[in-house]
Structures are given as C-alpha cells and as structure tokens.
Amino acid sequence: MKLSAPVPGGPCWIELSTPDIPAAKSFYAALFGWRSETDPREEAGGYTMAHLGEARVAALSPVHQPGQLPAWTVSFATDDVDATIEKVTSAGGALLAGPMDVFDQGRFAVVADPSGAVFSLWQGRAFAGAERFNAPGALGWVELVTHEADPALAFYPSVFGWTVGASETYPQWGVDGEDFGGMLVMDDKFPPEAPPNWLPYFAVPDVDAAAATAQGAGGELMMPPTSVPDGPRIAVVRDPQGAVFGIHRAGEEG
C-alpha cells in the first residue's frame, strides 16, 4: 500500500480471532518472525500483541462466541467512531458490536457492509494503530472479496470518502489517491456460498519460500504462489486454525 502510517479512512490495524492463541503465536512466529506478548490483565481477555522488533503490527485475540470461526479482521481509522457508525448504517451497513472504549487506547466498533463483509472502526487515542506497514511481516494490502462491485463502490466512498482507481476489473481503494487496497469480485471459481470478506495481505521477501514455510508449519495453500499480470506475486494461505490471509512480495504494494 502507498500508506506508511494510519490515516483517517485507511487501514490501521489487523486482528486475528482464533481458538488457540499459543498455536497461532507459533505459526506466525515461524512465518513472519513475530514476537507476541499477551496482556496479563484479566480484563484484557488474553489480547496478544504481535511485534516486528519493537513495532506493533497485529493482534491475536481469543474467539468470544461459541461457533465463531477463526478469521482476520481489518480495522479502518476514523476520527469519530460514533459518527462513522451513523454513516455505515445510513448507507445500508450494520453495526455488529460496540461502540466501546478500550482502556485509554481508543474506541472501536465492529460493522458490516451491505453484503455482510465485516470490518472494524478504530478511533485511536493512546494507540493509533500498526506501527509498520509494507515491511516483511507487516500488513501491505487489504482486499475486499465480494459478489457484486456496484454496492461496494457506492458504500465505501460514501462512508470513508475513498478514491477509486486502477481498472474496472480490479478497482483500487485509496485515501486521496494513495491506494491501500482493492476489490475482487468473486467468479465461478468461488463456491456460491463463499461469504464476502476483507482479506489482508502481508508482505514477505519471497512468496514461494513463505508459502513453503506456511505449509511446513501446518498451514494450507488456498492459492499457490501466482504472478498477477502486471501485478505482484501473491499466494493465499489458511492457517492451522482456519483463518485465511494473503502474502505478497514486499516492495510490490499497490
């Protein structure tokens, strides 16, 4: 992505909900070199920060509801969570959880777009969000995977003011033209029941080597390493608990 720090409207944080925090720590340490630290406070509920060096780049969190599937959730920054919730619901989206304050760190809510794709809103206070983007092991791109383009093209610019660039076949989302993600419309290669979702991509030095590491650590390749025409080399991985994410070669963001 062309963004290098959290800005209003841009992706600012990435969080994994998983039923097995220790196993997730081990897998992502092997794949990305993350050093993960769990908040010892009881009221933190096992929330775990993943670091690259001293930079906080992601979080691991226990699942909170029976039957909740492991998944990555992308958070977008806003100056006012409550006002953005009103924009979400006015544009046909839904409020799923919150809003609520997280200690002195910020205020958040979980919402969905009209198709059901889930994402979070984050109003940073003491914590603005990820402290590194685009470097190996850090978030480098986010992709909306959905069944129809037009509803998304109406919803997200109305909520966040995003710019839309690139091509009709792969629209790219941006903040003032600084692209940070794109939109993939599902074709017949996807099962009809596949739900719309936001897919995070993490940067790696070598996609083929990272894919092999992921498999060796118990992950599954949903899409093997592939070179996108006029684009980056990418792969899509499912971790051992079932959460899906992408990887792309660092330096090929947006």
The pLDDT assigned to 141 comes to 97
The pLDDT assigned to 197 comes to 96
Ordered alpha helix ranges (H), the chain: 21-32, 81-90, 149-160, 207-216
- pLDDT tens-digit map of 7-57: 999 999 999 999 999 999 999 999 999 999 887 777 767 789 999 999 999
Please state, in angstroms and rounded to a whole number, the distance separating the CA atoms of residues 94 and 196.
14
Please state, in angstroms and rounded to a whole number, the distance separating the CA atoms of residues 244 and 129.
21
Task: Please give the order of strands across the beta sheet that includes 55-62.
Answer: 35-38, 48-52, 55-62, 11-18, 71-77, 118-124, 106-112, 94-102
- pLDDT tens-digit map of 56-69: 999 999 987 778 89
The pLDDT assigned to 44 comes to 66
Q: What is the mean pLDDT of each run of 10 residues along the chain (254 residues)?
A: 94 96 96 90 80 96 85 98 98 96 95 97 97 97 96 97 88 95 90 90 97 98 92 95 96 68
Q: Are 236 and 246 contacting, i.e. CB atoms less than 8 angstroms apart?
A: yes
The pLDDT assigned to 254 comes to 61
Structure letter (DSSP) for residue 193: T
Q: Which of 226, 237, 233 is nearest to 30 (CA)?
A: 237
Q: Are 138 and 132 contacting, i.e. CB atoms less than 8 angstroms apart?
A: yes
* β pairing state of 197-204 and 139-146: antiparallel
Q: What angle do CA 25, 69, 67 make, to 5 degrees?
A: 120
Please state, in angstroms and rounded to a whole number, the distance separating the CA atoms of residues 104 and 102.
6
- For the chain, list the domains and their CATH numbers: 1-254 (3.10.180.10)
The pLDDT assigned to 253 comes to 64
Q: Which of 162, 131, 130, 152 is nearest to 198 (CA)?
A: 152
